[in-house]
C-alpha cells in the first residue's frame, strides 16, 4: 500500500491497468477490495479508503 500511495503522489492512476503496471500489483481490483473490507471490519490500524 505504501508503494501505491507514493506512486499516486507522482501522478494519479488512470485505471487498474496503469496501477498494475506502475506498482506491479497483481489483480488490483481484488487486492483493493480486500483492503476495503479489512478497513470496514476494523482489521487494520490505518484506513486508506474508509473514513471512520
Which residues does 1 contact at the CB level (< 8 Å), separation at least 6?
Answer: 35, 48
How confident is the model at residue 32, as a pLDDT? 93
Has residue 6 been placed in a domain?
yes
Structural domain including 18 reads: 2-40
48: three-class secondary structure by DSSP = coil
Structural domain total, the chain? 1
- Half-sphere exposure for 50 (CA within 13 Å, toward CB): 17
How confident is the model at residue 33, as a pLDDT? 96
d(CA 30, CA 1): 13
Whole-prediction pTM: 0.74
Has residue 52 been placed in a domain?
no
Has residue 8 been placed in a domain?
yes
C-alpha cell at 10: 507522482
Has residue 49 been placed in a domain?
no
Q: What would the pLDDT profile of 1-52 be if each residue is shown by its tens digit?
A: 788 889 999 999 999 999 999 999 899 999 999 999 999 999 999 998 998 8
Amino acid at each position: 500500500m505504501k508503494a501505491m500511495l507514493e506512486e499516486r503522489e507522482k501522478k494519479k492512476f488512470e485505471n487498474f491497468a496503469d496501477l498494475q503496471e506502475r506498482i506491479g500489483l497483481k489483480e488490483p481490483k481484488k487486492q483493493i477490495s480486500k483492503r476495503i473490507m479489512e478497513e470496514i471490519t476494523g482489521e487494520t490500524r490505518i484506513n486508506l479508503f474508509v473514513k471512520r
